[in-house]
Structure 1
Amino acid sequence: MSRTAKVLAATFFLIATISTLWGQGSVGTLNGTVLDPAGAVVPGAAVVLVNNATGEEHKTTSTSAGAYTLPYIPAGTYKLRVSAPGFRTSEADNVILRVAQTLTVNITLEVGAVSEQVTVSDKPPLLESGTAEIGRYINQA
């Protein structure tokens, strides 16, 4: 094999290898479903993925089917935080996303404490309603 043919073959091999590696990139995808304790989907939940090393945040909201997708996320270790009105915030630590991986993390939210304050204001009654006595006022003039 001539020297030119060897160089041409090596160049072709490098181009083919580099283009394959270029297509993979260094990102992955995180997806999942947000559920309540009964297994029903939770639409409109806020999903936040925080990179442990850089603090970079990726945010999305769950769909009407409770599904969420975070595409094009750089490979790394993350903390996943999910919150929705009426539920406690749920966190998943050490979520490891690898290159070209599609990772599914389903989250079940616990029902949160609902606090409400009721204020009742009323005037005291004009009649004595605490006893059944009948009385009269007698004026002695």
Structure 2
Amino acid sequence: MSALGERRAGFEEAYHLQFGRLPQNWNEAQGKYFDAHGQGAWWAWCAALGVIENDPRRTAFEAWADAHHLPLQRMGRTPHYEHADTQGAWIGWNAALDSVVIELPAPDSTDANPTTSTDCDSGFARGVSACRVAINAAGLKVKP
């Protein structure tokens, strides 16, 4: 099995344990899910593993850097940029995003979920978890 295949198998197992289902519609040619929630979770999984492809932060940064005519050549296979201005902008970009930390309600928060129904509580917890995955996939942090 390829490295991508192994990474994807581990991701799908973790996703199934968390959400009770597999993400939908893997596109082998594009290396992504068509299911928006699955794709967001995949990006977060890859970022957590330190994999730089499919990194939403880098994708957004490189679109911005290209629009501002910064050279995007990397130092070999490293995540570092050859040009000092680009590398400095990348460091600043990450520092700015790292300063944003979103606080979500606790999955069992009675303030945010005043019902006593177990089904509603479970749905609320899954919703908070899905929000956490989507926010992380966007390259932002969620307060633990």
**TM-score category by the smaller chain?**
under 0.3
Q: Which has the higher helix share?
A: 2
Q: Which has the higher strand share?
A: 1
Larger RCO of the pair (alpha carbons < 8 Å, separation 6+): 1
Taking structure 2 as the reference length, what is the TM-score of the superposition?
0.22
